[in-house]
């Protein structure tokens, strides 16, 4: 796109008398623009910076001098208390127990469906795509009431969950994440798969490749970019999820970290300094993922919102 604009810019600058007027007209607003952006960015980062600052101050310091004051000393004690005292690693592990299988299964199932409905012309393609897309957009609270009752009715063998029900089990949480998130992933993946030339799979068919082989050896390897983007995005969403375990997993000890945090607050996180430390510690995985995989993250979001 930059390539197409360049000649025009050169032409505009080449015109006599054009140059000084243009630069003057552009420069002044640009300074204002930077000013606005600097103010916005500062405001946007301020709450996080303040939380960081608070978390590094001992409670005694803030109790004596107030929270808006210069720190007399900085310490990592709050992080140690939050991490060890509230046993955060235990809850991190709970989250991973749900997130990892949920992401793998979601991507697998969604890629199956996307493959079927984007590479073969069936009459049901569009209705199915609409079904998954619409299902992904429903607010979770619309389905929670019957879902809660269903989870209470569906038995699991004891070796799968002490609760012997989908309710209060990791299987239940994984299941609902998979069922809901498949909607979004089918939408993104089928849009992507549709851009892969038909000739590729047709050639494979001519060579006698089975449907399963076309999926595994032709389509799936080409889908690494959307799969990476979706994995990043789904990790963030499932990690950040608070709602499903709140209703479907009553045992506090078993809850993933985000839902556990609400309980921990009353017990362990008693002052702002500890709340800040706990909140920031909990945010670390998603923030790290964001900075390492920013491109995937943003790609995933835009792929989901726009077409193709």
Partner 1 sequence: MAESTATSTGARRRRVPRMTRTDRIVLVVLVGLPTILHVAFVWVPTLSSVALSFTDWNGVGGLDAIEWVGLRNYEQVFTIYPPFWPALRNNALWMLFLVLVPTAFGLFLAVALDKQIRGSRFYQSALYLPVVLAPALVGFITQIVFTRDTGLVNGLLGLTGEGAPDWLGDSTLNLPTVMLASGWRHAGYVMVLYLAGLKSVDHALREAAVLDGASEWQAFRHVIFPALKPINVVVLVVTVIESLRTFDLVYVINKGTNGLELLSVLITQNIIGEASRIGFGSAIAVMLLLVSTVFIVVYLGQVFRKDADR
Place of tokens 């045992």: 251
Kindly state the DSSP code that residue 66 receives in the 8-state scheme. Answer: -
- Shortest distance (Å) from residue 10 CB to partner 1: 11
CB of 113 to partner 1, least distance (A): 5
Nearer to partner 1 by Cβ, of 45 and 93: the residue is: 45
Q: Alpha helices, DSSP H only, in 56-124?
A: 59-65, 77-80, 88-119
Smallest gap, in angstroms, from Cβ of residue 276 to partner 1? Answer: 6
Q: Which residue has the tokens 């208390």?
A: 81
Residue 155 three-state SS: strand
Give the range of 71-79, 96-104, 145-153, 216-224 binding partner 1 by CB under 8 A.
145-153
38 vs 230: CA distance, rounded Å:
31
Place of tokens 């009553």: 250
Q: Is 31 in the site for partner 1 (CB under 8 A)?
A: no
Tell me: does residue 301 bind partner 1 (CB under 8 A): yes
- Which one among 142, 157, 159, 197 touches partner 1, defined by CB under 8 A? 142
Interactions with partner 1, residue window 53-112 (CB under 8 A): 54, 62, 66-68, 109-110, 112
Does 270 help bind partner 1 (rule: CB under 8 A)? no
| 13 is an interface residue for partner 1 by CB under 8 A | no
Q: Which of residues 184-223 bind partner 1 (CB under 8 A)?
A: 186, 202, 205-206, 208, 210-212, 215
Within 147-166, which residues bind partner 1 (CB under 8 A)? Answer: 147-150
Closest CB to partner 1 among residues 141, 157: 141
Q: Using the rule CB under 8 A, is 8 a contact of partner 1? A: yes
Count of beta carbons in the 10 Å neighbourhood of residue 261: 21
Task: Find all residues with CB under 8 Å of 185, minimum gap 6, and list them.
Answer: 106, 107, 110, 111, 114, 230, 234
Q: How far is the CB of 198 from partner 1 (least distance, A)?
A: 8
Return all residues near 55 (Cβ < 8 A) that are at least 6 apart. 78, 79, 273, 274, 276, 277, 280
Contact 258, 282 (CB under 8 A): yes
Determine which residue in the list 23, 217, 267, 294 makes contact with partner 1, applying CB under 8 A: 294
């Amino acid at each position: 796109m930059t390539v197409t604009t360049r000649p025009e810019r050169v032409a505009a600058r080449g015109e006599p008398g054009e140059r000084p007027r243009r630069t003057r007209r552009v420069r002044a607003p640009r300074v204002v623009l930077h000013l606005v952006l600097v103010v916005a960015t500062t405001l946007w980062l301020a709450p996080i910076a303040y939380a960081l600052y608070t978390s590094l101050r001992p409670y005694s310091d803030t109790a004596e001098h107030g929270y808006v004051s210069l720190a007399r000393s900085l310490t990592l004690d709050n992080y140690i208390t939050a991490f060890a005292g509230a046993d955060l690693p235990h809850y991190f592990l709970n989250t991973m127990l749900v997130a990892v299988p949920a992401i793998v299964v979601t991507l697998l199932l969604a890629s199956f469906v996307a493959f079927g409905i984007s590479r073969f012309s069936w009459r049901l393609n569009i209705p199915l795509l609409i079904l998954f897309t619409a299902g992904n957009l429903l607010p979770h609270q619309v389905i929670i009431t019957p879902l809660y009752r269903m989870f209470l009715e569906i038995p699991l063998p004891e070796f799968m969950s002490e609760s012997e029900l989908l309710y209060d089990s990791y299987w239940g949480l994984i299941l609902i994440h998979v069922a809901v998130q498949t909607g979004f992933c089918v939408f993104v993946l089928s849009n992507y798969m549709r851009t892969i030339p038909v000739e590729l799979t047709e050639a494979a068919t001519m060579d006698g490749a089975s449907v399963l082989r076309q999926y595994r050896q032709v389509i799936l390897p080409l889908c690494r970019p959307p799969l990476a983007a979706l994995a990043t995005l789904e990790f963030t969403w499932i990690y950040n999820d608070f709602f499903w375990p709140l209703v479907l997993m009553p045992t506090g000890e078993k809850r993933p970290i985000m839902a556990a945090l609400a309980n921990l607050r009353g017990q362990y996180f008693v002052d702002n300094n500890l709340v800040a430390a706990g909140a920031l510690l909990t945010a670390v995985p998603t923030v790290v993922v964001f900075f390492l995989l920013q491109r995937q993250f943003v790609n995933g979001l835009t792929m989901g919102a726009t077409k193709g």
